[in-house]
């Protein structure tokens, strides 16, 4: 590793740009990872099974902010206001208005094309 860094430094000083960037790209493949998390008590945990369990518990707490464990118990909140179902006469009236509007549009279209 030390030799690779010295080689990059030499390439930089001698203006050997192509080899310098090739060496830099070799380093890009190296991704150090930190596989350590804190558990509920604040202790550091490095075991992969403990990390997965901690993530599961964390997101379970995060998504269940109201303390509801069973989805069937949860109340569903919607953004739309509750609107009563229209009656049959209201539906018929709306359809009649659409027919009149369609007829008027058709008449205007025919007048423009003639």
Confidence tier at 40 by pLDDT (50, 70, 90): confident
CB atoms within 10 A of CB 8: 19
User: What is the DSSP secondary structure assignment for residue 82, as one 8-state letter?
Assistant: P
Query: How far apart are the C-alpha atoms of 33 and 78, rounded to whole Å?
Result: 42
Which whole-number Å values give the CA distances from 78 to 16, 49, 65, 75, 81, in the listed order?
64, 38, 18, 10, 8
Reply yes or no on whether the pLDDT at 41 is more than 60: yes
Task: Please report the pLDDT score of residue 88 as a whole number.
Answer: 94
What are the pLDDT digits (tens) for 49-88?
888 989 888 888 887 766 655 555 566 677 777 788 899 9
pTM of the model: 0.33
User: What is the DSSP secondary structure assignment for residue 73, as one 8-state letter?
Assistant: G
């Amino acid at each position: 590793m030390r030799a690779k860094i010295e080689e990059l430094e030499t390439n930089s000083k001698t203006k050997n740009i192509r080899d310098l960037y090739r060496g830099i790209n070799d380093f890009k493949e190296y991704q150090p990872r930190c596989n350590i998390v804190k558990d509920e008590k604040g202790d550091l945990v490095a075991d992969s099974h403990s990390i997965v369990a901690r993530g599961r518990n964390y997101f379970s707490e995060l998504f269940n902010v109201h303390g509801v464990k069973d989805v069937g118990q949860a109340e569903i909140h919607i953004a739309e206001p509750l609107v009563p179902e229209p009656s049959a006469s209201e539906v018929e009236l709306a359809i009649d208005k659409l027919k009149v509007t369609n007829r008027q549009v058709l008449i205007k279209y025919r007048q423009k094309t003639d």
